Amino acid sequence: MQTLADPEIDTFLVGRARVTRVEEWRGAFLTPQVLFAGFDTGAYAATRDAIGAPYLDLATDAINARLQSWVIEHERQTVLIDTGAGNDKERPGLPLFGGLKTPFLERLATAGFGVEDIDLVICTHLHVDHVGWNTRLIKGLWQPTFPRAEYVFPAADAVYWDPRNADRYPPHVGEAVNAGFFEDSVRPILAAGRARLVDAPVEIGPGLRLDPAPGHTPGSTTITLSCDGDAAIFCGDVVHHPLQILNPGWNSIFCEDAQQARASRGAVLARAADSGARLVPAHFAGEHTVRVERTADGFRPRFALGA
C-alpha cells in the first residue's frame, strides 16, 4: 500500500457538515501479536499485506497509531469528539502517555478553534487516551479546558471507572493502564457541574446520535453524524486498527467484556457496510477513516483518500 501524506490537521465533509481532525500524538504502539486477544498467526499472515504501511511498520510489526480528536461544525454548533491523553498527566500504568507536552491546543487554534469555541465535548468512552484534554492544569488545579462546553459522558462508564465505586465490581481489565484518569480528567468536570451523563441510544444534537457499543468499556458508544443523506460513524475503540475489520473477532487486550466487544464490533461494521457511512475510529494512522465493505465471509476496509 502506498504511504500517504499524513498531516496533523485535515478535514472532510459529511453532507454540509465539516469535520476537522486534530492530532495530538503519533508513534509506534504495540504489535498485533500483543495488542489483540484472539490473535491468530495464520489469519495475520493472510491479512497483513492487505493492510501494510502506513498502518503497520512492516519491519517490526509495530502498529502505527495516532491520538486524535474530531471537531464537527454542524447546525451552528461546534462539537469535539474525544480529547486524547492531555498534558501534564501522571500515568504510572501507561507512561507512554504520561507527562506529555504536546501542542494540541495550538493545533486546535491553527485549525480555527479556540477553547471557547467548543460548544459540546463528547467522549465515546472513558479511557485514559480519550479524556485527557477534558481538563488542563491552571494554577495547580485541574480545570475544564473548554470553558463554555457541556461535556457528554457515557453514564455507565462514569460509574464503572469512579474509584469510589471500586467495591461494586471485580477488578477491571484496564485498571492498571487507566490509573489516575478519573481524578484528573473526569471528576473535575463532574464537580464543576459541566457533565451530562447519558445512556445510549440518545439524540444529542441536530444530526448527532449516540448508540450503545459496549464491551471495550461498559458505556462505549458510537456517535453517528448525519447530514444531507451522508453519514459518518465515530466508533472510538470499537475498532483500533484496520486488521480488526478483516479479523473482527480480535479484541483489544483492554476490552472489559470480550464477548460483548466482539458483538459490538460486528454490529458496527455491519452498520457501516450496509449504510455506506464513513467509519471514523479513534487511532487509525494513514487515511484515518475508512469505508467498510462486505465480503463472502466478513468485511474488508476500503481506503480511498477523500472518499
In the chain, % helix, strand, coil (3-state, to 5) comes to: 25, 30, 45
What is the model's pLDDT at position 6? 63
What is the model's pLDDT at position 102? 97
* Mean pLDDT across 153-181: 96
DSSP letter string, 225-280: EEETTEEEEEEETS--STHHHH-TTPEETT-S-HHHHHHHHHHHHHHHHHH-PEEE
**Segment 187-198, tens digit of pLDDT:** 999 999 999 999
pLDDT at 4 > cutoff 60: no
Burial of residue 113, with CB atoms counted within 10 A of its CB: 0-12 exposed, 13-18 middle, 19 or more buried: buried
pLDDT at 173 > cutoff 70: yes
> Are the beta carbons of 153 and 144 closer than 8 angstroms?
no
* Mean pLDDT across 6-18: 93
> Are the beta carbons of 130 and 82 closer than 8 angstroms?
yes
Q: What percentage of the chain carries pLDDT values higher than 90?
A: 93
**Segment 219-259, tens digit of pLDDT:** 999 999 999 999 999 999 999 999 999 999 999 999 999 99
* Mean pLDDT across 118-130: 98
**Segment 79-121, tens digit of pLDDT:** 999 999 999 999 999 999 999 999 999 999 999 999 999 999 9
What is the model's pLDDT at position 1? 29
> Are the beta carbons of 125 and 47 closer than 8 angstroms?
no
Q: Is the peptide bond before 281 cis (omega within 30 degrees of 0)?
A: no
**Segment 157-167, tens digit of pLDDT:** 999 999 999 99
Q: Which domains does the chain have, with CATH numbers?
A: 15-302 (3.60.15.10)
Q: Is the peptide bond before 54 cis (omega within 30 degrees of 0)?
A: yes
pLDDT at 73 > cutoff 90: yes
* Mean pLDDT across 153-160: 98
254 half-sphere exposure, CB direction, 13 A CA radius = 20
Q: How confident is the model at residue 58 (pLDDT cuts 50, 70, 90)?
A: confident
pLDDT at 305 > cutoff 60: no
pLDDT: is 298 or 306 the higher one?
298
Average pLDDT score, the chain:
95
What is the model's pLDDT at position 307? 46
